[in-house]
Amino acid sequence: MTVQPFRSVLYIPGSKVRAIDKAKSLPVDAIIFDLEDAVSPEEKESARETLASALAEGGFGHRFTIVRINGLDTIWGTADARAVADMACDAVLLPKVEGPEQIDRLAGLIGTDRAIWAMMETPLGMLEARTIAAHRQLGGMVMGTNDLVKELNGRATPDRVAVMTGLGHCVIAAKAHGKVIVDGVYNAFKDEAGLAAECRQGRDMGFDGKTLIHPAQIDTANAEFGPSEDEIDLARRQIAAYEAAQADGQGVAVVDGKIVENLHVDTARRILAQAEAIGQIAAE
Ligand X SMILES: CC(C)(COP(=O)(O)OP(=O)(O)OC[C@H]1O[C@@H](n2cnc3c(N)ncnc32)[C@H](O)[C@@H]1OP(=O)(O)O)[C@@H](O)C(=O)NCCC(=O)NCCSC(=O)C[C@H](O)C(=O)O
Q: Residue numbers of the site for ligand X (CB under 6 A)?
A: 10-13, 18-19, 22-23, 34, 37-38, 119, 121, 144-147, 184-185, 189, 213-215
Q: Quick check: 80 binds Mg ion (CB under 5 A)?
A: no
Q: How far is the CB of 31 from ligand X (least distance, A)?
A: 8
Q: Which of 86, 123, 7, 109 is nearest to 94 (CA)?
A: 109
Residue nearer to ligand X on the CB measure, 194 or 227: 194
| Contacted entry of ligand X, Mg ion, none for residue 209, CB cut-off 5 to 8 Å set by kind | none
From the CB of 11, what's the least distance to ligand X, in Å? 3
| Residue numbers 109-168 binding Mg ion by CB under 5 A | 121, 144, 147
Instruction: Give the binding-site size for Mg ion (rule: CB under 5 A).
Output: 3
Q: Cα 113 vs. chain centroid, distance in angstroms?
A: 20
In this complex, which beta carbon is closest to ligand X, that of residue 9 or of residue 253? 9
Establish whether 208 is an annotated binding residue. Answer: no
Beta carbon nearer to ligand X, 137 or 217: 217
Which residue positions form the known binding site for substrate? 68, 121
Binding site for Mg ion (CB under 5 A): 121, 144, 147
Which residue positions form the known binding site? 68, 121, 147
